[in-house]
């Protein structure tokens, strides 16, 4: 038995924040942002919109494509680091909102690798025969964790949600393998210092801006390119394929330079590599399901095509998935 993606959906908030808008907020400029990241604009959630709201719309679009109703879903997994609350899981909120009465639900916290970690959980759940229909979502409201006075980070990120329905199917098409890695030694290169148990919410913490994402970008860049390349090769070699067999590479959309450097090391052409980071920036766990949905709806992947996906993020975490569409 294989676990197979049978529906994709995504939702991006309406509000667009351009590089020109950012020029008015911090000491930056369109040329710098374009040259270093390739990001032109990003989407920002409305004041009354948060992670579960976006996740629900993406999930409903994926379920509609799959022809699956909410009451048929066995399990909901949400990859997110910006859930509606510190706890309970945003997946439980999604479960209630869509009315997936028989589903159990939990979140996966693996930063930008969150969606591929969640997809791996869905794959294992289905292959073990525990259930047949899983909703896997990547959704983030990163704009609420960004320091909008820090030009090093605020130009990079955005909000959004993507979802897939994963169903049990016959051998052949479906997820061929998942490869997950972590290394907690890199914690302080990319993290949010407050307000967890180590630094609980406090006025002093707010004054020190501990509630915002912190990153050492150039260090992250080097490890990201190396890890994305290695984990992609791991997936191809585990299944006896080479770069030439890949129809579409759908990587985590961090920035254009990371994507192009990784694709070059993998010998993948522009036609084989899906990039939408210029429109949305880095939406962490949402980037891959959003990109998959766009590529799917544009007809860039057809039944039988080999699709490679890889992600890298805070933790550090990194992961890849190879699947036969």
Kindly list the catalytic residues: 112, 252, 282
Compute the least distance from the CB of residue 317 to ligand ACO, in Å: 10
The only residue of 218, 298, 299, 302 in contact with ligand ACO, by rule CB under 6 A: 218
269 in Cβ contact with 260 (< 8 Å): no
| 8 Å CB contact between 291 and 163 | no
Q: Which is nearer to ligand ACO, 31 or 48 (CB)?
A: 31
How far is Cα 253 from Cα 277, in angstroms, rounded to an integer? 5
CA angle centred on 61, ends 124 and 126, rounded to 5°? 15
Give the DSSP letter of residue 243. Answer: G
How many residues at the interface with ligand ACO, by CB under 6 A? 24
CA–CA separation, 298 vs 88, rounded Å? Answer: 36
CB of 60 to ligand ACO, least distance (A): 27
Separation of alpha carbons 253 and 224, rounded Å: 12
Give just the sign of the alpha carbon dihedral 93, 112, 248, 166: negative
191 binds ligand ACO (CB under 6 A): no
User: Which range touches ligand ACO (CB under 6 A), out of 66-74, 198-206, 251-259, 302-310?
Assistant: 251-259
State which of residues 123, 255, 273, 321 lies at the interface with ligand ACO (CB under 6 A): 255
Q: In this structure, are residues 243 and 267 in contact, taking their beta carbons and an 8 Å threshold?
A: yes
CB of 155 to ligand ACO, least distance (A): 4
Q: By CB under 6 A, tell whether 224 contacts ligand ACO.
A: yes
Asked if residue 313 binds ligand ACO (CB under 6 A), the reply is: yes
- SS3 assignment, position 43: strand
Dist. CA 151–CA 34, nearest whole Å: 14
Residue 151 touching ligand ACO (CB under 6 A): yes
- Binding to ligand ACO in span 51-90, by CB under 6 A: none
Per-residue string for binding with ligand ACO, 111-140, x by CB under 6 A? -x----------------------------
Where does this chain touch ligand ACO (CB under 6 A) — which range of 135-143, 174-182, 193-201, 212-220?
212-220
Closest CB to ligand ACO: residue number: 217
- Strand, helix or coil at 162? strand
- Based on its alpha-carbon atoms, the radius of gyration of the chain, rounded to whole angstroms, reads 19
Contact in structure between 248 and 272 (CB atoms under 8 Å): yes
Q: Which residues bind ligand ACO (CB under 6 A)?
A: 28, 32-33, 36-37, 112, 151-152, 155-156, 190, 215, 217-218, 220-221, 224, 252, 254-255, 258, 282, 312-313
């Amino acid at each position: 038995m294989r676990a197979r993606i049978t529906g994709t959906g995504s939702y991006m908030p309406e509000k667009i924040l351009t590089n020109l808008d950012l020029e008015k907020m911090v000491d930056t400029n369109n040329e710098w942002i374009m040259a270093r990241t390739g990001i032109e604009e990003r989407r920002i959630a409305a004041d009354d919109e948060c992670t579960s709201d976006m996740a629900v719309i993406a999930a409903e679009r994926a379920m509609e494509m799959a022809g699956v109703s909410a009451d048929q879903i066995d399990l909901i997994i949400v990859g997110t680091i910006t859930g509606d609350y510190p706890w309970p899981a945003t997946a439980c909120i999604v479960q209630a909102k869509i009315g997936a009465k028989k589903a159990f639900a939990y979140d996966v916290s693996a930063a930008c690798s969150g969606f591929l970690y969640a997809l791996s959980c869905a794959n294992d759940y289905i292959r073990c025969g525990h259930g047949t229909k899983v909703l896997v979502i990547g959704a983030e409201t990163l704009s609420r964790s960004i320091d909008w006075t820090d030009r090093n980070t605020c130009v990079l990120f955005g909000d959004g949600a993507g979802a897939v329905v994963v169903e049990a199917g016959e051998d052949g098409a479906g997820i061929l393998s998942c490869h997950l890695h972590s290394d907690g030694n890199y914690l302080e290169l990319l993290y949010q210092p407050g307000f967890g148990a180590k630094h609980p919410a406090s006025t002093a913490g707010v004054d020190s801006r501990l509630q915002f994402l912190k990153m050492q970008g150039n260090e992250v860049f080097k490890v990201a390119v190396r890890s994305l390349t290695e984990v992609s090769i791991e997936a191809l070699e585990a299944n006896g394929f080479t770069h030439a067999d890949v129809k579409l590479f759908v990587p985590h959309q961090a920035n254009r330079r990371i994507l192009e450097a990784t694709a070059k090391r993998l010998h993948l052409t522009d036609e084989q590599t899906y990039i939408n980071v210029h429109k949305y920036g880095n939406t962490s766990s949402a980037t891959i399901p959003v990109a998959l949905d766009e590529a799917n709806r544009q007809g860039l992947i057809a039944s039988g095509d080999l699709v490679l996906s890889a992600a890298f993020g805070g933790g550090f975490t990194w992961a890849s998935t190879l699947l036969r569409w």
